[in-house]
Amino acid sequence: MAAELKDPVTREYTINLHKRLHGETFKRRAPRAVKEIKKFAKLHMGTEDVRLDPKLNVALWKRGIQGVPTRMRLRISRKRNEEENAKTKMFSYVEPVIVASIKGLQTTVVEEEA
């Protein structure tokens, strides 16, 4: 598994936010969704450094603090850290994917354009 972590890869996931936010107070739902997405990316990509695209934040907060979407399609990319004083070699970048319907979509590997 250590060899896999060195390779940059991009995958598309469907995350069920509804089950991750169940029982959460209305005024904490959107901030909690951000934390849950970071936790999801950390688990699936194996990186400590997770960065969110500003468009993802807009998509989460579009319907207010309590109107978080039940499911979201996310594109998570594991990239090399080019910064000189970086603590880790890789980071994850999470961005939303606009799809007509989330139903029936599986996790897919996105081919990188070189």
pLDDT tens per residue, range 34-68: 999 999 999 999 999 999 999 999 999 999 999 99
Task: Output the pLDDT for position 2.
Answer: 47
Which pTM does this prediction carry?
0.89
* Alpha-carbon span 36 to 9, nearest angstrom: 21
CATH number of the domain located at residue range(s) 2-110 in this protein: 3.10.440.10
* Alpha-carbon span 8 to 63, nearest angstrom: 33
Whether the pLDDT of residue 5 is over 70: the answer is no
Instruction: Supply the mean pLDDT for the chain.
Output: 91
Domain range list for the chain:
2-110
> In sequence order, what are the residues at sequence separation of 6 or more whose Cβ sits closer than 8 angstroms to the Cβ of residue 55?
95, 96
Task: Output the pLDDT for position 114.
Answer: 46
Whether the pLDDT of residue 111 is over 80: the answer is no
What mean pLDDT comes out for the span 18-26? 96
